Amino acid sequence: MMQIDPVEVIAGYRQGYFLMDNGDSLGWYSSQSRTVMPLDDRFRYPRSLRRSLNQNRFKPAINRDFLGVVEGCANRESTWISDELKAIYLTLYGAGWAYSFETWQGDQLAGGILGLAIGGVFIGESMFFKISEGSKVAMVMLVDHLRSQQFTLFDVQIMNPHLERFGAYTISEMEYQQQLQAAIQLQRTF
């Protein structure tokens, strides 16, 4: 089991690595390219979400149910979040680095995004939903939140069709490192 030292874990993320459990063990990963979510006018969302957004079906919250979001992300069919990684996220949450950006429908957690905030970068680790469109609306609201807090980088790590629908794109490792190092120097509040 990996020793949980929040300072060391955040140091790894500051260098551009991310934690993942491959089923056998937890380890640090990196890639030749990185997927980022735009925080400018390149961000887009499916038209089908406009109705949910206009009807205000969901209310946003930050850390209202952090553990519920971690569990929701870990209990998906395809996940890399092991019990060890859950413990690390909880430690990082307690140290003020990890956050859950949530959508709620009444008193029910509808969906959420789990991530880390370091300076002006938000590193999205995983997302889930319990109510249809809960995580998609969370993505739109999270981008609005990051813009309002003047974050400059939203790292979503690995491309998938869902992220691509929102305008996510891939950059080289060198470009990612430049953006990351500039973003972590900023003083931002999540």
The one-character DSSP state at 95 is T
Strand partners, 65: none
Res 31: pLDDT: 87
State the helix-helix crossing angle for 66-74 and 83-94, rounded to 10 degrees.
160
Contact (Cβ atoms closer than 8 angstroms) between residue 37 and residue 168? yes
**For the whole model, what pTM was predicted?**
0.94
> Can you state the percent helix, strand and coil of the chain, rounding each to 5?
35, 30, 35
Average model confidence (pLDDT) across the chain: 93
Res 2: pLDDT: 54
Average pLDDT over residues 167-190: 97
Token pair of 111, please?
């969906």
Res 26: pLDDT: 85
Token pair of 98, please?
């990890």
Q: To 5 degrees, how large is the angle CA 91–CA 135–CA 148?
A: 75
Res 181: pLDDT: 98
Cα separation, 1 vs 88, in Å, equals 11
Three-class DSSP category at 15: coil
pLDDT tens per residue, range 106-124: 999 999 999 999 999 999 9
pLDDT tens per residue, range 97-107: 999 999 999 99
- In the chain, count H helices and then E strands: 7, 9
Res 13: pLDDT: 96
* Residues with Cβ within 8 Å of residue 30, at least 6 apart in sequence: 16, 17, 18, 173
Share of the chain above pLDDT 90, in %: 79
Res 172: pLDDT: 97
Res 149: pLDDT: 98
CA distances from 5 to 9, 78, 95, 107, 126 (A): 6, 27, 10, 34, 21
pLDDT tens per residue, range 126-156: 999 999 999 999 999 999 999 999 999 999 9
pLDDT tens per residue, range 19-54: 888 777 888 988 899 999 999 999 999 888 888 898
Quick check: 86 pLDDT over 80? yes
Cα separation, 170 vs 182, in Å, equals 18
Quick check: 1 pLDDT over 60? no
Give me the domains of the chain, ranges plus CATH numbers. Answer: 6-184 (3.40.630.70)
